[in-house]
């Protein structure tokens, strides 16, 4: 069974009541609208195209069974969000509609069958007559409409909501592929040329290299970078970005001289446009499938990103007979590629030292686009994983983004292994300048530098973590800046960050820093002098304490002074704790503060000991006290949970890929229902919600006999 078929079966829309469907429809519509806004207006998507398409498929399935839920505000009736107000609005004379998607061969065949039935009904088409399709690789870029009158380019706009877009004419004039004056025969007096603005992979990598060299944040992928570049308020910035344009469609056209789509593509080239060379006229469904397979095989080696193949009925009179349904034409479809794997060359393996001293092997790869993101590095996890995979420098390796998020190496291609390769040997010394011994933890899975905070690599990583998104989130203070400031003595401990405003004259003299960038950094630092307690705890970098556990600790202690006092008391009490208590034979006389810490969900004795070890180190306590002098740490208003809350006092864990909502949305809903959400499974866990591709947490739940729910069961429970 295909992945899409499994997805449909697992969710069982056919078994929904109308009440459940209404709640699900509302949730999906809100989620899709949020992702539309992130993708189209902010150029900052949070999920992959495949996951987004799943949400839309799910919504369409709900509406198909419950048509009374369809209204004009449904995402199925709209193309994209209303454009932002940063640019003037442009109303398209003919709407810019999007395409329906096919993910399986069954869905593609359904499209062919619908087209044939429609043509037999609307025309005199014979049952065995040939139907030609213009097939072209689907460029992963930003859709644009260009307005020409008397051959002159007069205006350009984004798709927007399909009816109204944003005027980006000045920016489009900087793109060399867009002609300002058309040449050739049969140019309409007034018409709209539609196509895609994109960025080639090589140009994207070169742009990122310049960003990193300048100490700026690297961009995520070519598509988002192209979209962000085109929507710059200053056209001079757009002009510095290596944008390209492929033309492939039209809007209004008066007069129109072409009778087929393939004829129109030829005319576009005569007029001076670039068209996608990966285009073919296919006359049978088998030819179409062969073209799709060919594009899938060539996809990794193309100079630009594609995420599928578009099939359009070639004859325009037939297109007009079939018309449109809702937001898409009946005569065209996008055949999307499945979750992507790619093959690329392993250039080498290097060791990365984390903030806790853990040594992580990282694969250095020839850059390749996987799931819409350029991947040049992928974690190899630990020494055991390298031993299992036996990957070596020079290997052709298979790369996948786990859950379309984390790049991982799945293995190597044996027949393409070079003749002379050497097995990787995990180092016994830390790669830091101190060259301290590497120690294995119990079980030997994690290996750590024994240098502690004396290790400069750990110091830098702790500072990077401190300013990261889920901690202090200081804009303009990226990893490269942190490392440079550390090496030059401007930063040593977190508190030094908040002393940087006093050293702005020194920063201003540094290469790449001007008056504007220095002022922006100082303002960003000042804005973060007030921080929530959970972010503060998370940012400190206490071993085994992450975002979720920091929130639980903040809820338990309420304010920073209470938290710090309790941690210091627990650290003193822990020294008196007998060995049997450490083995979880906890007794009441271990100390009130240490016992309180051990009893927080997701902490327990092992994590509590790590915390106490951290607070037994005077240097760590001084770092926190230094920060307290400079910051306002906001306390936590404890959640009041109703006595009849459905999940009151339940401990819930989510694992695997959720298709109908994001992980954050699912966690928030569980907390609304009174649950405590944690990231690890233990005997105390009440239930585990298991999505697709679930791993060790699902297995542990089964071993411990913890109740599990499918995503469908969770949706029903939480509705």
Listed in order, strand segments (DSSP E) in 96-198 are 101-102, 133-139, 142-149, 152-158, 164-166, 190-198
Q: Give Cα 317 to chain centroid, integer Å.
A: 41
Residue 267 CB neighbours (<10 A): 18
CA distance 321 to 124: 12
Q: What angle do CA 462, 465, 470 make, to 5 degrees?
A: 150
CA distance 361 to 349: 6
- Going by the DSSP 8-state scheme, the letter that residue 219 receives in this structure is P
Helices 18-36, 711-718: inter-axial angle, 10-degree rounding: 100
Phi and psi (nearest 5°) for 657?
A: -90, 125
Q: What sections of 91-248 are H helices per DSSP?
A: 105-122, 169-172, 201-213, 222-230, 235-239
CA distance 44 to 35: 9
Residue 91 CB neighbours (<10 A): 10
CA distance 383 to 399: 19
> What are the helix and strand counts (H, E) for the chain?
26, 26
The total number of residues written for the chain in this structure: 719
Q: Give Cα 632 to chain centroid, integer Å.
A: 32
Q: What are the catalytic residues?
A: 138
Coil vs helix vs strand at 612: helix
CA distance 168 to 173: 9
Relative to beta strand 101-102, strand 332-336 is parallel
Q: Which long-range contacts (CB under 8 A, 24 or more apart) does 544-550 make?
A: 544/606, 544/607, 544/610, 544/611, 545/607, 545/611, 546/679, 547/470, 548/602, 548/677, 548/678, 548/679, 549/600, 549/602, 549/603, 549/607, 549/678, 549/679
| Order of strands, sheet of 332-336, starting from the edge strand that comes earlier in the sequence | 101-102, 332-336, 306-313, 133-139, 279-282
CA distance 113 to 53: 22
Coil vs helix vs strand at 315: strand
């Amino acid at each position: 069974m295909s992945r899409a078929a499994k997805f449909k079966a697992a969710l069982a829309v056919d078994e929904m009541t109308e009440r459940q469907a209404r709640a699900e429809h509302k949730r999906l519509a809100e989620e899709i609208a949020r992702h539309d806004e992130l993708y189209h207006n902010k150029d900052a998507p949070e999920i992959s195209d495949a996951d987004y398409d799943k949400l839309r498929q799910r919504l369409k399935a709900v509406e198909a069974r419950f048509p009374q839920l369809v209204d004009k505000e449904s995402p199925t009736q709209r193309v994209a969000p209303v454009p932002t107000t940063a640019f003037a609005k442009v109303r398209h004379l003919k709407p810019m509609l999007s395409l329906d998607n096919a993910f399986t061969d069954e869905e593609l065949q359904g499209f062919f069958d619908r087209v044939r039935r429609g043509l037999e009904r609307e025309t005199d088409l014979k049952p065995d007559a040939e139907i030609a399709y213009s097939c072209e690789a689907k460029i992963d870029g930003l859709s644009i409409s260009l307005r020409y009158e008397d051959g002159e380019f007069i205006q350009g706009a984004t798709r927007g909501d399909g009816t109204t877009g944003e005027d980006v004419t000045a920016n489009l004039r900087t793109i060399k592929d867009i002609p300002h004056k058309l040449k050739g025969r049969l140019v309409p007096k007034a018409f709209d040329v539609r196509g895609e603005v994109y960025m080639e992979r090589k140009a994207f990598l070169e742009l990122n290299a310049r960003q990193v060299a300048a100490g700026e944040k690297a961009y995520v992928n070519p598509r988002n970078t192209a979209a962000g570049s085109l929507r710059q308020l200053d056209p001079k910035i757009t002009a510095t970005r290596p944008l390209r344009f492929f033309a492939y469609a039209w809007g209004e056209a008066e007069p129109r001289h072409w009778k087929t789509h393939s004829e129109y593509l030829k005319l576009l080239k005569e007029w001076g446009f670039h068209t996608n060379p990966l285009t073919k006229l296919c006359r049978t469904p088998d030819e179409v499938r062969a073209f799709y397979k060919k594009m899938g095989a060539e996809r990794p080696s193309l100079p630009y990103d594609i995420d599928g193949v578009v099939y359009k009925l070639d004859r325009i009179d037939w297109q007009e007979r079939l018309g449109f349904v809702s937001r898409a034409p009946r005569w065209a479809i996008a055949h999307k590629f499945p979750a992507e794997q790619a093959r690329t060359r392993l250039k080498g393996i290097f060791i990365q030292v984390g903030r806790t001293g853990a040594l992580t092997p990282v694969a250095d790869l020839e850059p390749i686009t996987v799931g819409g993101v350029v991947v040049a590095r992928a974690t190899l996890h630990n020494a055991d994983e390298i031993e299992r995979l036996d990957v070596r420098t020079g290997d052709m390796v298979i790369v996948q983004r786990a859950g379309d998020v984390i790049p991982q190496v799945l293995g190597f291609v044996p027949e393409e292994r070079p003749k002379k390769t050497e097995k990787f040997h995990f180092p016994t010394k830390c790669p830091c300048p101190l060259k301290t011994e590497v120690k294995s933890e119990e079980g030997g899975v994690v290996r750590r530098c024994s240098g502690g905070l004396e290790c400069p690599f750990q110091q830098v990583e702790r500072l990077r973590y401190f300013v990261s998104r889920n901690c202090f989130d200081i804009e303009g203070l990226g990893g490269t800046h942190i490392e440079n400031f550390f090496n030059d003595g401007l930063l040593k401990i977190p508190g030094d960050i908040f002393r940087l405003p006093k050293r702005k004259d020194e920063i201003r003299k540094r290469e790449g820093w001007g008056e504007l960038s220095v002022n922006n950094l100082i303002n960003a630092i000042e804005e973060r002098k007030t921080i929530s307690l959970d972010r503060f705890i998370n940012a400190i970098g206490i071993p085994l304490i992450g975002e979720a556990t920091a929130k639980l600790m903040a809820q338990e202690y309420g304010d920073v002074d209470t938290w710090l006092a309790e941690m210091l008391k627990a650290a003193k009490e822990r020294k008196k704790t007998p060995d049997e208590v450490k083995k979880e034979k906890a007794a009441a006389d271990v100390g009130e503060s240490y016992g309180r810490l051990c009893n927080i969900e997701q902490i327990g004795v092992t994590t509590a000991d790590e915390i106490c070890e951290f607070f037994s180190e005077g240097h760590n306590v001084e770092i926190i006290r230094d920060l307290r002098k400079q910051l306002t740490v906001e306390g936590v208003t404890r959640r009041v949970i109703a006595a009849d809350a459905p999940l009151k006092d339940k401990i819930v864990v989510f694992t695997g890929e959720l298709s109908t909502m994001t992980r954050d949305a699912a966690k928030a809903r569980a907390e609304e229902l009174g649950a405590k959400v944690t990231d690890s499974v233990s005997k105390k866990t009440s239930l585990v919600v298991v999505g697709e591709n679930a791993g060790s947490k699902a297995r542990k739940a089964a071993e411990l006999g913890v109740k599990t729910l499918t995503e469908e069961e969770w949706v029903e429970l939480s509705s």
